[in-house]
Amino acid sequence: MFNFRFFSALVVGLLLVSLPQNSYAFGQQGHQLVCQLAYQALTPTSQQRIDNLLAKLPASEVVRINEYNQVASDHKITFADTCTWADAIKQDASYDDFKPWHYVNGPRNSLEIKPEHCPKNCVAKAIEIHHQTLKAATDLWQQQQALMFLGHWLGDIHQPLHAGFASDWGGNKITVESQQSCKNLHWFWDICLFAKPAKQQKLYLAELAERYKASDKSTWLNSTPWQWATESLQIARRATTKYCQLDGRGNCQLHQESVVLDDAYRQQFIPVVEQRVLQASARLAWLLDTAW
């Protein structure tokens, strides 16, 4: 379905090294930004524990992450870098069982995501599993995987089209017409919604960092992954998102024709996605600080 490849004193310079020159994407860099903001908000004890885990990461995984992030293979990775690992392993058949963990599907008439919508594995359950694994595991590699998965899942669950419907692949089957290069709705939310000229990137990152510090993050905590997925679903179900055509019974029907996404659409939803990134960061920091 969806690939979410999902936002203080942010280490802007270090993060900008890995940004593409023509865009700021809610893809690789979106995941990295969620984790960077979360890392900056952690207690020093939590930061040190993460640093210790990553210092012992297998060399093969360091290479894998750096290749996926398109940086030098010997680049010293940060926690933010590792939050793309769950996407990088998709090309490795030994991890195929984890592909359904990136999203959650519900029925087309559902107004919320419930545990019964996830009989096997999905992103909400994945957060619970890997948070518990990070707490309880004694094996180093299990701890490292749980940390990298958890960072990624928090980005995924806050991207609205990760909480959707199986029949349209989270918007992959909804073609779009726009001035950007993205050809379907899921792709547009993953990448093109965040397009920024390179000269604006540093200012943009600094602005988000300031907004993170100023946010009342307490209102986002003490909630569950199922509630976070429901928040995403509710955004996806808005008529203005153009993911749903709501019928008289409240069913979210698949768009049968291309949808037009103009600049007004981007301006309407950029603040929505930025808010989701800030929420993801705060909740990830909360989970990590309670995992040790």
Half-sphere exposure of 52 (CA within 13 A, CB side): 9
**What domains sit in the chain, N to C, each tagged with a CATH number?**
12-289 (1.10.575.10)
pLDDT at 249: 85
pTM value is: 0.88
Residue numbers of the chain with a pLDDT score lower than 70: 1-26, 194-202, 204
Say what the pLDDT of residue 132 is: 97
Q: What per-residue confidence (pLDDT) applies to 198?
A: 54
Amino acid (one-letter) located at 33: L
Rounded Cα distance, 285 and 41, in Å: 6
pLDDT digits (tens, 9 = 90+) for 192-204: 886 555 566 667 6
Please report the pLDDT score of residue 247 as a whole number. 87
End-to-end, the C-alpha distance of the chain in Å comes to 33
The C-alpha R_g of the chain, in whole angstroms, comes to: 18
pLDDT for 9 equals: 32
| DSSP annotation string for 130-162 | HHHHHHH--SHHHHHHHHHHHHHHHHHHHSGGG
Per-residue pLDDT, 200: 64
The confidence score (pLDDT) of residue 192 equals 85
How far apart CA 109 and CA 260 sit, in angstroms, is 24
